[in-house]
Amino acid sequence: RSHRNIGKIQKPNDTIPKDTNNMHRLPWKWAWLPLLLLITAKLEQVGGKTYLDWARTDSQLTRLPFFGGGVGHLLRYLHPLSMSPPSERGKISELRSELDANYVSYRGAQLWKLNFNATRGSSMAEREEDDEAAEKRQVLASPDAQFNEVVALFGSEVWNINQDGIDILIEQRNVADARKFMDKVGYSYNIMIDDIESAIDESYVEVPAVEHPLDSVRNNSLPWMEVPGSTMNWRRYHDQADIKQFLQTLLETYSENVELIQIGVTRNKRPLEVIRVSNGNPDNWAVFVDAGLQARDWLSPAALTYAISKLTHLWGRPKGKDKGEGQRQSRAEKAMRRIDWYFLPLANPDGYQYSRQTDRLWTKNRGYDSVSGCYGVNLDRNFDYGWDGTGSTSNPCKNLYRGAHSFSEPESRAVCSFLSGMREYLGAYVSLGGYGQAITYPWGDADYVTENQRNLKQTARRAVLALRRLNQAEYSSGTSYRQKLARPGNSADWVQDRIGPQLVFNMFLKDQGRYGYLLPPHYIVESGEEVFEFLRIIAQQLQ
């Protein structure tokens, strides 16, 4: 309003004198507006206060205090760029058309990180002692008992425990009370996701091709990104039918190198399909890779199918091509050709599809318990090693339910039966999951050493360095016990104990808590490249 003659009544023919000396200054009166938009776009709620998110990576936030809480929150929600444009909302609605009438909404729920390193009462010695800190992370008990109280009173579920703290889901009805409690006791926490449902919306958006990180860096298209005859494109998370069609397309395109093997069926009679990629040499070591044991983990099936597409494109000879017409390969890629690859992209297809249609955060399979009336068993607690230990539950209504007995579920039994038949030539087993950015190896139930731990440790460290060189991804490595929650009955420990291949790993993909299980789809390609790089390291290690 500053350049209007407020207070002066003018006739239509009045001439307004122009201050030609000051005309060039007028736009500067609005120069603060872009700065305000930039600042409010980077506001972050932390511990009930508002901070300026000055620099962000996938794993770290650098924040500066910004105004009072009320002013900061007001600016955050008034910021026009924080609202999805109508076109994006339309895309979300279209892609979520598969949702059923029983859809579970998480509107208003939040993801919090309770910070270990800023806990009142914890000593510097505790924070710097890796072994002791690792031991404390194995149970829900944190360096301070009051963390348990927060989880018990307000946290509907613990998503993850890492070196920084505990990631817990806070339901909407508990958010206000939890914030008051944390502020009262003076504990440090970060609100990583301030509305879970909004983050779920983002996971349904398809990313334009030009926005793929690797496309923009290399300034060209990746030939394995498009699979003729298939709907797979890795610009969004695909459903079970799309993944099945993708595997069938690879079989038809690379029939000389690809085989589809049905190893079993799920509770709901969906097929459990393994895709084998091989040159047919009987002297090859075999590597088995599964993904998606946890239903809400959409990233690992997407990343694995990307790696499969790249592997078959670089290696396989399309039907009708003569020998020598394929791609040139590096030494590392030639090492991958000397492996029989077995991939199970959807180890829990029933749970995965239920997560897409009804409850995005569903993690179990869809087995029914007639006594409790509850559904599902956590498949990564159902294997026959350390079964029923700390970190699982006998309550069928809980996410960590381990089943009525080990191998109670057709999905885990199918994997057990198939791997048991590969005992003589299985060189490596890898289970992909989210999240945490860690490469771990047995054991997950206790802190003791395996016979092949030196080899496991060296391979994991080599992979960590390779992933850092690839795209500056910061992965940690170590035993599952030292890196994660106690995981009794997990698949990797069972494979190590009963099958005994040279290499056994869990690879926990992006990120380190910023999005958790709700990683936006523009991370799929980057994660797929990381999976491919890890498999390349394993292939070289087995030569």
Distant-in-sequence, close-in-space partners of 479: CB < 8 Å, separation ≥ 6: 440, 441, 442, 443, 444, 447, 453
For 94, 95, 201, 236, 297, the CA distances from 91, given in Å and listed in that order, are 5, 6, 10, 12, 22
Residue 437 DSSP one-character state: S
The pLDDT value recorded for residue 203 is 85
Q: Is the pLDDT of residue 210 over 80?
A: no
Q: Is the pLDDT of residue 128 over 70?
A: no
Q: From 464, 466, 463, select the one nearest 475 (Cα to Cα).
A: 464
Structure tokens, 536: 């390349």
**Domains plus CATH for the chain?**
33-82 (no CATH), 108-194 (3.30.70), 214-542 (3.40.630.10)
What values do phi and psi take at 524, rounded to 5?
Answer: -65, -50
The pLDDT value recorded for residue 217 is 40
DSSP string, 289-356: EEE-SSTT--HHHHHHHHHHHHHHHHH---TTPPTT-S----HHHHHHHTEEEEEES-S-HHHHHHHH
CA distance 154 to 391: 19
- Fill in the amino acid letter for 315: W
The pLDDT value recorded for residue 7 is 38
The pLDDT value recorded for residue 485 is 56
Q: Is the pLDDT of residue 83 over 90?
A: no
Structure tokens, 309: 């597409």
SS3 annotation, 121-144: CCCHHHHHCHHHHHHHCCCCCCCC
pLDDT digit string (tens) for 465-511? 999 999 899 999 999 888 765 688 999 999 999 999 999 999 999 98
pLDDT digit string (tens) for 333-381? 788 989 999 999 999 999 999 999 999 999 999 999 999 999 999 999 9
What would the mean pLDDT of 419-432 be, rounded to a whole number?
A: 97
Residue 390 DSSP one-character state: B
Highest-scoring range by mean pLDDT, 89-93, 102-106, 150-154:
102-106
Cis, peptide link before residue 435, omega less than 30° from 0: yes
The pLDDT value recorded for residue 94 is 59
Residue 522 or residue 207, greater confidence: 522
Q: Is the pLDDT of residue 234 over 80?
A: yes
The pLDDT value recorded for residue 328 is 55
What would the mean pLDDT of 457-470 be, rounded to a whole number?
A: 96
Query: What average pLDDT does the chain have?
Result: 78
Q: 389 near 414, Cβ under 8 Å?
A: no
Half-sphere exposure (CA, 13 Å, Cβ side) for 458?
Answer: 8
